[in-house]
Amino acid sequence: MRQGAGSMGREMMATAVETVEKDGQNEGQGRFQSSFGRLFAAAAALRGRTILCDGAMGSMLYGCGIFINRCYDELNLSQPEVVRGVHNEYLQAGAAVIETNTFGANAVRLKRYGLEEKVHEINRAGAGIARACVEAHREKMASEAYVAGAIGSLGVRVGADGELSADDAYAAFAAQIRGLAEGGPGVGADLLIVETMMSLAEAEQAIRAAKSEAPELPLIVMMTVDERSNCLDGSTAEVAAERLTAWGADAVGCNCSSGPVVVLAAIERMRSATTLPLAAMPNAGTPRQVDGRSIYLDSPEYMASFAKKFVKAGATIVGGCCGTTPQHIKAMRGALRALEAQEVGVESVKAGPAPNARPGIEPPPLKDRSLIGSLIAGKKFVTMVEIVPPKGIDCTRELEGADVLHKLGVHAINVPDSPRASARMSAQSLCVQIQQKVGIETILHYTCRDRNILGMQGDLIGASSIGLKNILCLTGDPPKMGSYPDATAVFDVDAIGLVKIVEGLNHGLDIGGNPIGASTGFTVSVAANPGVPDIDNEVRRFAAKVEAGAEFGITQPVFDLRLLEQFLRRIEQFRIPIIAGIWPLTSLKNAEFMKNDLKVSMPTEIMARMAAAETPEESREVGIAIAREMLEQSRGHVQGVQVSAPFGKYKAAAEVIGVL
């Protein structure tokens, strides 16, 4: 689960846990008393929270050079350092739950290696290795992680017409679970994961054994499915969810299978048949034979995209199975944190001075904070131009562009913060140089992507002290969008939470309610996208930004006036001044990029006009003409415009502004 939730978020989690615990007590159950149990109960009760599990163990051990004719579960006894290394890699990648190396540590599978008498010893050792890794991680990283006792399929048919009777299957699972749970939560496993179940008959016996041998541990049960997302015994995903729920599982789901596509379909079908939390842990695709080795080809980025889809489909618990590596889990962690940052959580809205904060001070009136603040307060039309920082240390071109725009009468320069997750000069540095060397006011774009709340506060206090008084609060593009896929995202809060932090600093208080001596005096702005497909969510988030303290909004580039007008009508009840984004297109390719990659609504008419341009110069002229038209058409609906300078074409921005 993501760490660093705000105080109100923790209060809601505590309330959810208390409710679940009381319900459990009323039913005479002792579950959810452990640390993970409380976390699990809260995650199940709250939307927008996800528990991230680890990935494959077997394929990782194979990659360490362990031959496939070895009993991988026995490595807990003979080579624990190898198992420990895999666990540590997953913890470092961001997994909150690691599974013990005990998938096949039952008497049925161990008998093939003559190890059936060591069931208890192997499982107890597996739990002990994982526990030691979790405790070391907690001490080193000051973050919680938990041990899941992994219980895999017996590998034979269970039931009257199978190779193993139901009673024998029950006995096999029970013996394994006793080893995993020995000592209780915090010593043995914190929870149990029954996974890759081939049939409901087998799953039933695993659940019976878990409820008998370790009733205090949360129990996740996952089936494996075929290409049609049906269980391998022919049961539908819906029937599986219903029966697993009835038999007493605490969460149900799907793992393994042929990859994330079929697992997603199964999860979507299970959602309609149960109210329990859902778990999704697919293979990294179907293995391919390459030079005699089984290779899983689904990339970390591909798996990360499905992690978000799982959560949107209702999954609370997400992880990976065969072929998934720490790199996959790291990418999934980044995707999930980005997704959570996009959700309006109470912790985001309430992020700011703590409830018991000391009284703050009143910030200066808006008109006295900055030029932009005075124009907004005076209901004057505002003009801005966006200048992107350079990729190197030389910003001569950017300063010259700012100077041209300043002489033209532009009120301020907007400076993005590593847009598209690219590595550039810091926005704060360029803002300072523009203000000091050119004399025009700037608006600092500030994102949540790269900093925790401590770093944010330090940056913002420092920005105020050196004369930066306008802030655009943004969540930020996920690192995977850029050229540095190994970069990690932080996302302690989203743009809404950031606005609350700035609002607190404006009242002279840090996020803990401690006085900082004076108001930072920021003019606070936020972003809006009138053309986003999920306009309901956009309106909901914009309302939360206004509630948090935003004083004006800046839209994404507008090419469809109808969508802008619709958005303005939707926010009428909580309307703040809106600055319309204007983008001078440079070519048809640029228009296609805006439409397909940035998801900006681009009318067919504009695409046709750009396509009709025959030369680069003609394309540029058409783009400027379209931008001028949008500026003129939107002028009566908004309180200003922000014109972009694509590819550093400051002359184009000046020509658009010149129409005023």
DSSP 442-466: EEEEEESTT--HHHHHHHHHHHHHT
Q: What is the DSSP string of 547-611?
A: HHT--EEEEEE---HHHHHHHHHHTGGG---EEEEE-----HHHHHHHHHTS-----HHHHHHHH
What would the two tokens of residue 39 be? 């976390």
- Of 484 and 532, the structure prediction assigns the larger pLDDT to 532
Contact 332, 321 (CB under 8 A): no
What would the two tokens of residue 241 be? 């969810």
Written as one letter, the residue type at 178 is R
| Contacts of 135 by beta carbon, 8 Å cutoff, 6+ apart | none
Contact 149, 188 (CB under 8 A): yes
Is residue 50 situated within a structural domain?
no
Nearest 5°: the CA angle 645, 650, 654 is 100
Domain of 609: which CATH number? 3.20.20.220
| 231 in a labelled binding site | no
| 321 in a labelled binding site | yes
| Contacts of 57 by beta carbon, 8 Å cutoff, 6+ apart | 72, 83, 86, 99, 101, 103, 150
CA distance 485 to 262: 26
The whole-model pTM stands at 0.60
Is residue 442 situated within a structural domain?
yes
Is residue 333 situated within a structural domain?
no
- Tens of pLDDT, residue by residue over 347-395, are 444 555 555 556 789 999 999 999 999 999 999 999 999 999 999 999 9
Q: Which residues of 481-516 are buried (b: 16+ CB within 10 A; e: fewer)?
A: eeeebeebbbbbbbbbbbbbbbbbbbbbbbbebeeb
Contact 37, 223 (CB under 8 A): no
Q: According to the model, what pLDDT value does residue 341 have?
A: 62
CA distance 230 to 644: 51
| Contacts of 627 by beta carbon, 8 Å cutoff, 6+ apart | 582, 583, 584, 585, 643, 652, 656
Report the SS3 class of residue 474: strand
CA distance 40 to 185: 13
Number of domains in the chain: 2
What would the two tokens of residue 328 be? 């996959």
Q: Which residues of 545-580 are buried (b: 16+ CB within 10 A; e: fewer)?
A: bbebbbbbbbbbbbbbbebbeebbebbeeeebbbbb
Q: According to the model, what pLDDT value does residue 354 have?
A: 55
β-strand partners of 443:
414
| 431 in a labelled binding site | no
Contact 177, 189 (CB under 8 A): no
**How many Cβ atoms are within 10 Å of 362's Cβ, its own excluded?**
9
pLDDT confidence of 343, banded at 50, 70, 90?
Answer: low
Nearest 5°: the CA angle 294, 297, 299 is 145
Written as one letter, the residue type at 153 is S
Contact 591, 585 (CB under 8 A): yes
**How many Cβ atoms are within 10 Å of 456's Cβ, its own excluded?**
24
Contact 622, 614 (CB under 8 A): no
- Tens of pLDDT, residue by residue over 189-242, are 999 999 999 999 999 999 999 999 999 999 999 999 998 999 999 999 999 999
Question: 12 pLDDT exceeds 80?
Answer: no
Q: According to the model, what pLDDT value does residue 20 have?
A: 40
Contact 81, 99 (CB under 8 A): no
With CA atoms as reference, report the closest residue to 456 among 413, 421, 402, 494: 494
Contact 586, 649 (CB under 8 A): yes
What is the torsion angle, in degrees rounded to the nearest 10, for the CA atoms of residue 323, residue 490, residue 413 and residue 650? -10
What would the two tokens of residue 222 be? 């996952």
What would the two tokens of residue 59 be? 């394929």
Is residue 6 situated within a structural domain?
no
Is residue 494 situated within a structural domain?
yes
Last residue of a domain, one of 217, 234, 267: 217
Last residue of a domain, one of 197, 217, 237: 217
**How many Cβ atoms are within 10 Å of 414's Cβ, its own excluded?**
25
* Residue range 139-154: mean pLDDT, rounded: 88
Question: 294 pLDDT exceeds 60?
Answer: no
CA distance 586 to 558: 15
372 alpha carbon, distance to own chain's centre: 33
CA distance 319 to 626: 47
* Residue range 555-563: mean pLDDT, rounded: 93
With CA atoms as reference, report the closest residue to 472 among 419, 538, 394, 400: 419
Is residue 578 situated within a structural domain?
yes
Q: Residue 495 is part of which domain span?
A: 353-657
Whole-angstrom CA distances from 544 to 342, 443, 445, 596 are 12, 22, 19, 28
Written as one letter, the residue type at 350 is K
Last residue of a domain, one of 217, 247, 266: 217
pLDDT confidence of 21, banded at 50, 70, 90?
Answer: very low
Segment among 38-52, 228-242, 505-519, 525-539 with least mean pLDDT: 38-52
Contact 621, 612 (CB under 8 A): no
> CB-hemisphere CA count at 13 Å for 592?
5
Q: What is the DSSP string of 217-279?
A: S-EEEEE-B-TTS-BTTS--HHHHHHHHHHHT-SEEEEEETT-HHHHHHHHHHHHTT--S-EE
Q: According to the model, what pLDDT value does residue 415 have?
A: 96
Q: What is the mean pLDDT of the chain?
A: 86
- Tens of pLDDT, residue by residue over 50-105, are 899 999 999 899 888 888 889 999 999 999 999 999 999 999 999 999 999 999 99
- Of 402 and 418, the structure prediction assigns the larger pLDDT to 402
Question: 290 pLDDT exceeds 60?
Answer: no
What would the two tokens of residue 540 be? 């909901």
CA distance 526 to 505: 16
Report the phi/psi class of residue 76: left, alpha or beta, with left for phi > 0 and alpha for psi in -120 to 50: alpha
Question: 429 pLDDT exceeds 80?
Answer: yes
Is residue 23 situated within a structural domain?
no
| Contacts of 566 by beta carbon, 8 Å cutoff, 6+ apart | 530, 535
What would the two tokens of residue 489 be? 């995202």
| Contacts of 562 by beta carbon, 8 Å cutoff, 6+ apart | none
Contact 610, 591 (CB under 8 A): yes
Domain of 145: which CATH number? 3.20.20.330
Contact 384, 411 (CB under 8 A): yes
What would the two tokens of residue 332 be? 């999934």
Is residue 342 situated within a structural domain?
no
pLDDT confidence of 8, banded at 50, 70, 90?
Answer: very low
Question: 9 pLDDT exceeds 50?
Answer: no
What are the residue ranges of helices labelled H in 79-224? Answer: 80-93, 107-110, 119-141, 166-181, 200-213
Report the SS3 class of residue 623: helix
